[in-house]
Every structure is written in structure tokens, then in C-alpha cells.
Amino acid sequence: MDEIYAEDHDLEDEPGSRGYDADQDASYFCWACGEEIVVPVDPTMGERQVYVEDCPVCCRPNELHVELDLEHGGVRCWSEPVG
Ligand SMILES: [Zn+2]
């Protein structure tokens, strides 16, 4: 009697999200406290981005490096100490 529900509906597969049209999320590990921080990535800012952002956990400045991998559609993000 449950055959009506046999078809899986995958809610994570959003039809509107493709490529770099939408904002992406990247995550890095704070160099100071080791927490994993998720940051939104704006693809319109370029394939390689470097900027400073304070860690929301320990408030120390992180120099963030973001690289967009246009070939594979991935995002690389890591942090380094500032100065
Ligand atoms: Zn931190």
C-alpha cells in the first residue's frame, strides 16, 4: 500500500541553482581557534579573492584566500594569520 511513496523527492536538488549564478558557501578553519567558519562567496568578485575577516568565534582577524575552481565548480578557501 506504500507504493505511492516509492518515488523519492530530493528536496536538496534545487532547479534554480546552477554554476556561478548563485552565491556559494565556502568554509575555512580559523588559524587561531581552529573553528570551522562558513562564509558566503561572491563569484562576481573574481576567481581569486583575498580579504580580511574577523573570526566570529574568537574575533581574531583571518586573511581569507578564496579560489573558485571554474572547471570543477568548486570553491577553495583557507585562512592565514594577518601580518
Ligand atoms: Zn577563531
- Tell me how far the alpha carbon of residue 66 lies from the centroid of ligand 1, in angstroms: 17
**In angstroms, what is the span from residue 58 Cα to ligand 1's centroid?**
4
Distance (angstroms) between ligand 1 centre and the Cα of 78 equals 13
**Cα-based distances in Å from 18 to 24, 35, 58, 79, 82:** 10, 29, 34, 27, 34
Cα(64) to centroid(ligand 1), Å: 12
DSSP-assigned letter for residue 2: -
Strands (E) across the chain are located at: 24-29, 36-41, 48-54, 61-69, 74-81
Summarize the confidence of residues 79-83 as an average pLDDT.
92
Look up residue 77 and give its three cell numbers. Answer: 578557501
Please give the mean pLDDT across all residues of the chain: 82
> What confidence tier does 20 reach under pLDDT thresholds 50, 70, 90?
very low
Q: 22-38, pLDDT tens digit by residue? A: 568 999 999 999 999 99
Q: Which residue type sits at 47?
A: E
- What's the pLDDT score for residue 71? 81
